[in-house]
């Protein structure tokens, strides 16, 4: 005879499905954010915005790579918060908004010209605006 209660039987599969959809939607948001940020960086570069600091430019594919890495870190954070936070959605949104604001600091301090710094900050906000809502919608209130 099984020792699993009815409540466990009902919640365990739904938790598994929720985790799977969180990761799947997170991966989709990561791909979308990476593509959009890279496209905007390429358009900005073609329009004359220089992404150079200390004489070396940021390669266009670097935008895709860094967006993907930090977006996946966000997905992992959402997965952890889904398990341990009392209010996962609120905790995730507050944390990621603060981290997005903090991510703007290097754009102003690394010696970029004004146009480059503004575009870089906008790219951070665009990536966050794509990834954060997708993940937040999949977290419990």
- Predicted confidence at residue 9, as pLDDT, reads 45
Report residues of the chain scoring pLDDT below 50: 2, 6-11, 17
Task: Judge whether 86 and 103 are in contact, CB under 8 Å.
Answer: no
pLDDT of residue 55: 80
Give the integer Cα–Cα distance in Å for 66 and 9: 40
With residue 115 as reference, give the H or E element that holds it: helix 114-136
Give 47-58 pLDDT, tens digit per residue: 999 998 778 889
The predicted structure's pLDDT at residue 15: 57
Structure confidence at residue 141 (pLDDT): 83
Q: Going by C-beta distance under 8 Å and a sequence separation of 6 or more, which residues neighbour residue 32? A: 130
Q: What is the dihedral of CA 122, 105, 50, 35, to 10 degrees?
A: -40
Q: What is the pLDDT of residue 10?
A: 45
């Amino acid at each position: 005879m099984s020792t699993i209660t009815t409540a466990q039987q009902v919640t365990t599969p739904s938790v598994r499905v929720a985790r799977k959809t969180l990761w799947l939607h997170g991966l989709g948001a990561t791909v979308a954010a990476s593509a959009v940020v890279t496209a905007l960086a390429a358009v900005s570069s073609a329009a004359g915005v220089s992404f150079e600091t200390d004489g070396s430019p940021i390669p266009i594919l670097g935008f895709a790579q860094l967006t993907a890495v930090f977006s996946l870190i966000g997905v992992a954070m959402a997965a952890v918060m889904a398990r341990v936070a009392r209010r996962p959605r609120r905790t995730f949104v507050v944390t990621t908004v603060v981290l997005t604001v903090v991510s703007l600091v290097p754009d102003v301090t690394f010696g970029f010209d004004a146009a480059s710094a503004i575009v870089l900050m906008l790219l951070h906000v665009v990536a966050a605006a794509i990834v954060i809502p997708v993940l937040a919608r999949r977290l419990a209130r």
